[in-house]
Structure 1
């Protein structure tokens, strides 16, 4: 639905409410699904990526890994959970592993943790490989986003150190940089512990499908491909630079002495790499699961003030908002937040980072935020900025969410459900009763507001949620990339 949010009490409000209630369900299910699907597909088909000399170019850093997918409740044994579930910044024992997993499992929240105990990690991988249905694939934010951009028609430069075995997962058309000449690379391995909605772990039930990621990385925390990437960027001349994978630094045991903070030095080089790009090259930062407050605070001074765009899920949204506003980490949040809550957090993040833009004297300003949740996509862009087609981008991100999780390009209505209500508030501010009414035949709602003295457009698209989840890991990377695909024009 285009236009400004409707005020309650108007005749139009009453009419649309009655229309929405009528449209909601019939005897065979939610009849909103078909018109929502058709309109989302229409928006996608009407907006295609340019080809030939107008083909957009994206450069993505940093890192890659082997992902080992395993059913979480097959690998972990509830009898080893001693005491209540508990959050740990890093994992060093089997008991901490079980407590940490249970903590996020019962919330249905995504998590990513570093295991400092290498022997325990190797033992867990050995145990996982003996289970049925385990599978290997490529992992890491940058490679997964790179493959999505490639599928959608972009020219791609990827920064990652990889073995030849891992490179085999990447399409030949993607240019990979990072290895030194004839360098033998030992790939980092991430264990992706997946679970489905309503799955049981002892007395706990997962409220939604999700994943818990464990790693014991050596390459990725050091951003080992950063320098090589810098050598290739000038000639590649990207339209979009994507910064991701920095969460691998989270709780990694960097060696420190009085004269040197290696993590801070590496992040300074990331900042310099962003600043080395012309303002015509848009810069996007992909958030992730962080718990190390020192690292998060470094990101708020060394990365966030220098990018045009930030992408994240609902957990990362809550965490970033908490760090920016209060200087505190938010470990877990509502797995299905109200639209109004997410929009208020987006507004706070926008205002605070725009203030940091000014404090750091940076010519590049935050002009885009994309939040993806189970139920909806929300994209905020500054009007008349370099970001285009926000409405179509929200639709494409929504479709990509379903396709990835169902692992199928075709969208079958019998495998879909909608969680977005027939109407939603645009803010939790009790003095503002502005609402948007969900019209199945025009499901992407867009309106304008004024923030930080500039006009912004906000678009919210419902997600046709996949009810038979096949893939959970990598969903955020594919969704974020899909949201960016239509917003950059060469």
Structure 2
């Protein structure tokens, strides 16, 4: 796999590229690289625009939505109530499991999302959260957050979610909402977002980075309640891109017998119903239910053109595809070389599933977003375009969203970088490339199992004063897609 790739790196080395080390480098006003990186990323964004008029791209996004309630985790939870060591649980049934599970991910700075089967405890947590200063409400869920990002960037959007009229008011009027029975009043699913900042303390533990722990007690989203009406509207809308998201709400939900498999079969049929001219993207999330993950590897992954994920989800997907095992937590700041090796492995394994399942679609795009960098792999001569610009767009969106500011704030930015990076862990650093802040995005061609691909890696101007964490991945993934479909 790597022999052809390594031969090409002689030319790649003439390009100046970046590396993201596994440690934080101190950043101060003397770090002129920040301004240089910013200027080049903005340059790429400004010269690459979304088409308008008859050429305006259209995206259809399912499934589901919720109301998010954001609260400071260390204010809501009491460390003194923790009995025993941090521990992982697939679902949360009592306060002891909640505390152990939260600390398990908090100490790693890792994102997590869990179903809480104890409705009474969940309601109590919501009520306690509402009493705290700074608690806020917002629209949540992968699909609506991605829908809003596509709309902001100039796309025409069809969004599927069963939501109340109140929650629908948070969605831009020009986004078409389906799957919502307005003649029946119902309660929105609520997600409790436990946020924390980098270096925040919780008892004896310190968070290495800002992140969030999400719990939910959903009723509508696990059933993909909007799926059928979404399917009825797809032919008329005729999207250029179909995005499948929100399936993690099925994780550890108490389904009746084979209902989950039946719903996933309908998702598969919905993907297959689309013409090959409609690209399809699957947005990964935090999964711990192995049975669900294995179903996704047969009912969804073989039939999509693209998949997006963060560093935790990357390791988990790689583990499931390669070993049939769940990886609960991973390095929150992985080496570029490690992430790229995992992307190559996923590409090969999913391509094998494309063949096994005789899919008319082949995986042609993988986007991995981490705290420090964006990495996008696309197959050469596929329908995906402007990979370098897409990496720049995703990087800028990461900073803007987390800082909650349209402007790129250099006084609230830092880079995780060193002088160079290796593109793989497999060849004793024979494929190193070097950093030039005037041209900070690394792009190169290589060959994976006979397939010619392009890989681009872009730095993130990390927001040092995080205002938002939940929803960052959705916005980043959507931003990475907006320039790649023409």
Normalising by the residue count of structure 1, what TM-score does the alignment of the two structures yield? 0.94
Q: Indicate the residue corresponding to 1:341 in structure 2.
A: 338
CA distance in 2, matches of 1:44, 1:93: 47
Say whether residues 1:275 and 2:275 are aligned partners. Answer: no
Q: Indicate the residue corresponding to 2:369 in structure 1.
A: 372
Partners of 2:108 and 2:332 within 8 A in 1: yes
Partners of 2:13 and 2:433 within 8 A in 1: no
CA distance in 2, matches of 1:247, 1:28: 42
RMSD (Å) for aligned C-alpha atoms: 2.0
CA distance in 2, matches of 1:25, 1:405: 20
**How far did 1:464 drift?**
0.3
Unaligned runs of 5+ in 1: none
| CA distances 1:416-469 after superposition (whole Å, capped 9, x unpaired) | 100032211000003561012121000110000111311000000000000010
Partners of 1:314 and 1:335 within 8 A in 2: yes
Aligned to 1:29, the other structure's residue is in SS state: coil
**How far did 1:181 drift?**
5.3
Say whether residues 1:75 and 2:72 are aligned partners. Answer: no
CA distance in 2, matches of 1:130, 1:401: 30
Q: Residues 148-187 of structure 1 correspond to what in structure 2 (within 5 A)?
A: 148-180=149-181, 182-187=183-188
Structure 1's consecutive aligned runs of 4 or more residues displaced over 2 angstroms after TM superposition are 4-8, 10-17, 24-29
Unaligned runs of 5+ in 2: none
| CA distances 1:264-293 after superposition (whole Å, capped 9, x unpaired) | 000000000000000000000000000000
Q: Residues 43-442 of structure 1 correspond to what in structure 2 (within 5 A)?
A: 43-180=44-181, 182-256=183-257, 261-430=258-427, 433-442=430-439
CA distance in 1, matches of 2:52, 2:67: 32
**How far did 1:6 drift?**
9.2
Partners of 2:8 and 2:446 within 8 A in 1: no
Normalising by the residue count of structure 2, what TM-score does the alignment of the two structures yield? 0.95
CA distance in 2, matches of 1:485, 1:296: 27
**How far did 1:185 drift?**
2.3
CA distance in 2, matches of 1:221, 1:243: 14
CA distance in 1, matches of 2:12, 2:454: 22
Partners of 1:350 and 1:366 within 8 A in 2: yes
CA distance in 1, matches of 2:183, 2:377: 45
Q: 1:407 to 1:181 in 2, by over 3 A?
A: closer
Say whether residues 1:466 and 2:463 are aligned partners. Answer: yes
Aligned to 1:30, the other structure's residue is in SS state: coil
Report which stretch shifted further, 231-240 or 183-192.
183-192
CA distance in 1, matches of 2:377, 2:390: 11
Partners of 2:368 and 2:375 within 8 A in 1: yes
Partners of 2:165 and 2:182 within 8 A in 1: no
